[in-house]
Structure 1
Amino acid sequence: MSVPPLFRGLFDDASVFPPGDLPLGEAVPAHRGHRLAWYADSVGPFLCGAGRAGELAALRPEFPVALVLPPGGEYVPVPGLDVVGVEVAATVLPRLPAGVPGCLELPYGEDLFKLLDQLADTAHRAKFRTGGLTADAFPTVAELAAALTACAERGVPYKCTAGLHHAVRHTDPVTGFEHHGFLNVLLAAADPDRAAEALGERSGTALASAVGSLTDRQAALARLSFTAFGTCSIAEPLADLAELGLLTQENR
C-alpha cells in the first residue's frame, strides 16, 4: 500500500521559511530526498518566496513549486520552475495564467466572510495562518472553527500555514502557545458541524480513533476542504502519525 489517501499531498514543504529557515542549497536536495522516500506520496509542492524564485531556478529543481508572493505582489513566470500554485497575503489575487491556481491568505474577523464569497465558485483556495512566532499569531478554536465552517458552507477549499507541525492540539512547553493539530483540522473538515469540538480535542488516542473511523466519503470530503498545510519539517508530522499508529513503512 501507499500512503493512505487522507495524508497524500498533505505536507507542503516550507523548510526555507521560519522557523526552519533552511538555505535553498540544503532545502532543494532535502526535498528531492523526500520525493524518493517511502512517504513521498504525503509530500506536496516546495514552497518558495517569489523573491527567491530565480535563485531556486538556478538549482534546477525538477519538482512542483508553489510561489509565495508578498502582499500586493504580482506573479511573474520564472523559466525553469514548474509552478503549480501561487500564494499571497492580500485581499485580491494577482492575475494568474490559466492552470495556475491561487491561494489567498485571509484574515480572521468580519472581512473573512466577504472575501470567502469572492473565492466561491473559483479555482482558488483560501489560506489560514494557524500559528507563528508570537502568541497572537495563533487563532482561537472559535476563530478557526468559524473560518473552516464558512469555507464548508461556500464550498471553498483551504490550506493552512504555520503552527501545524504536530498532529494533536497541545500547549508548547517552552512558549506556552496553544498549537492547533493537523489531525484536529482534518476531523473538523470531515464534519464541519462539529468543527469546534474537533479542534479542541487534546487526546491523540481519541483523534487517532476518530481518524481511523472515517468512512472513505468522509475522508474524501476532508481532503476536498483541507487540501494541505505548510510545514518547515516533513519529519515531524510523519513522526506524529507513526507514533499514533496511523502511518508506517508497512503502508507502502
Structure 2
Amino acid sequence: MKSSTQSFLSNLIDYAGLFPPSQLPLEEAIHNYASYKSDADAWMLGRFIIPASRLDELDPYVSLFSKKIRLDISAIGQRSTDASHCLGLLQSDLDKISAFCHRHGGKVSINVYEMPLPPILPNSHFLKTIARETNKHQLQTFCEITMPLNDEWVDMMLQTVDEISEHNRKEDIQLGVKLRTGGVTADAFPSPEQVATTLVACYERNIPLKFTAGLHHPIRMYRDEVSTKMHGFLNLFTAGMLVGVHRLDIPTTADVLADEDPSHFRFTEKGLFWKDLIVAVTEIEQYRKQSLYSYGSCSFDEPREGLQSKKIL
C-alpha cells in the first residue's frame, strides 16, 4: 500500500453504528466495533461514537475489549436550547464519562468529546467554561455548529468560528469545530460552497475540524435514498488539505468538493493528487494530525467497500 494512502486513511473512520441511518441496537453496534478492531483494516478505524448519556449501557460489553485491544470512545454531548441548559448537560455528561472510565480502567479510553452548541452565537465566557471543564477530563473537544441550514447559516457559522478562534487565541485550552455534512434527508446536506467556506474559515483561524453524517462514499455522488448528492469523504479531506497546502480560495475548494470524477484523485508514492495539485505524504500526515481529525460514519463496511471499488485499497 502506498504511504500516501496509509497516511490519509489512518484512523479516519469513527464508527457511529448507533446513529441514523443504520441506527443499530447497542449490542449489535458494539459487537461490530469489537470485530472491526481485530480486522485487517483496523488501522482505518477510529473511535466508537456513543452519547455520553448512554455510557452506562456499555458496561456489559467492556469484556469484549482489553488493554491491548481497547474500547476507544468519542462521547457525544446532548443538544440544548441555551447556554445555561448546555452547561448543565455538559456537567452531567462529564460525570458519566469520569465514572465510566473509573469503572473500567485501561480497557477503555475516552479522550474526545463532541459537543452540540445551542443554536445561538457563543460568547467568550461560555466557550471558556466548556474548555475548562472538558480539559479537567483530558478531553479534546469539538463544538458542533447546530444553526439551521438556511440562508443565514454561513454568516452564523463564520461568527461562531470567529468566537472560537478568539477563545483559542487567548486561552491555552483549544477548541475544535465539528461540521455536519449530511443526514437522512436532502435538506440536511450543506452545499459544496457552504462546506468550502467552513474549510477555508477554519484553516485561516487554525481551528481543527471533525466531521459527521452523509460521508458513506469516497467520491461525491447522487444517492436515491436521500434524493440528493452526498459528499465524498475523499473529496472532503482532500479539499481541506489543499486549502492548507495551496491556499485554495472558496470557489476552487468547492470545485474539489463537487468533483464526481474518481480519476481526478490519485494516491502515489509522492503524495495525493487532485488533478495537478499535490499534497505530499508529510503534509497529509501533518494535516490529519493537526487539523483534519476524522469523521463519523454509521457504517465501516460501506466506506471501505467504496475504497476497494475505486482500487484505493
- Regarding TM over 0.5, the answer is yes
Does residue 1:157 correspond to 2:208, yes or no? yes
What residue is the counterpart of 1:116 in the other structure?
Answer: 161
Does structure 2 conserve the Cα–Cα contact (< 8 Å) formed by 1:208 and 1:244?
A: no
Greater share of residues in helix: 2
Give distance in 2, aligned partners of 1:63 and 1:126. 24
* 1:63 corresponds to: 71
Does structure 1 residue 181 correspond to structure 2 residue 232? Answer: yes
- Of 206-215 and 136-145, more deviation after overlay is shown by 206-215
Which whole-Å CA distance do the structure 2 matches of 1:41 and 1:10 have between them?
Answer: 9
Which of 101, 106, 110 aligns to 1:83? It is 110
Query: In the aligned structure 2, how far is the partner of 1:136 from the partner of 1:173?
Result: 14
Q: Which runs of 5+ in 1 are unaligned?
A: 248-252
Map Cα deviations across residues 91-128 of structure 1 (whole Å, 9 max, x no partner).
45642124211111014421222322333334322100
Task: Tell me which residue corresponds to 1:242.
Answer: 308
- d(CA) in 1 for partners of 2:140, 2:237: 22
Question: 1:31 & 1:64 partners in 2: Cα distance?
Answer: 10
Q: Distance in 2 between matches of 1:124 and 1:57?
A: 29
Higher mean displacement: 212-221 or 110-119: 212-221
- Structure-2-length-normalised TM-score: 0.73
Within 2, Cα distance between the matches of 1:171 and 1:207? 18
1:197 matched to 2:255: yes
Unmatched segments (≥5 aa) in structure 2: 80-85, 148-152
- 1:125 aligned to which of 176, 182, 188: 176
Q: Greater shift after overlay, 207-216 or 34-43?
A: 207-216
How far apart are 1:221 and its partner, in Å? 4.3
The residue type paired with residue 258 of structure 2 is G
- Secondary structure of residue in 1 paired with 2:215: coil
Runs of 4+ in 1 over 4 A off after TM superposition: none
CA distance in 1, matches of 2:226, 2:240: 28
Could you tell which deviates more after superposition, 152-161 or 51-60?
A: 51-60
One-letter amino acid of the counterpart of residue 144, structure 2: E
Q: Distance in 2 between matches of 1:112 and 1:136?
A: 17
Superposed displacement of residue 41, structure 1: 1.1
Alignment partner of 1:217 is 2:282: yes
Q: What is the match of residue 150 of structure 2?
A: none
Matches of 2:45 and 2:226 in 1, distance apart?
28
Partner AA of 1:101 in structure 2 = Q
Q: How many residues align?
A: 247
Q: Give me the whole-angstrom Cα distance separating, in 1, the residues matched to 2:286 and 2:239.
A: 11
* Equivalent-residue separation in structure 2 for 1:25 and 1:173 (angstroms): 29
**C-alpha distance in structure 2 between counterparts of 1:186 and 1:152, whole Å:** 12
Contact 2:36 2:45 in 1 (8 A): yes
The aligned residue for residue 6 of structure 1 is 8
Distance 1:176 1:184 in 2: 20
Answer whether contact 1:14 1:46 (CA < 8 A) is retained: yes
Distance 1:174 1:22, change over 3 A: closer
Is the contact between residue 187 and residue 222 of structure 1 (CA under 8 Å) also seen in structure 2? Answer: no
Residues 175, 27 of structure 1: alpha-carbon distance in 2 compared, 3 angstrom cutoff: closer
Equivalent residue in structure 2 for 1:228, among 278, 283, 294: 294
Shift of 1:59: 2.0
1:33 counterpart residue number: 35
Shift of 1:38: 1.0
RMSD (Å), alpha carbons: 2.1
- 1: CA distance between counterparts of 2:37 and 2:164? 31
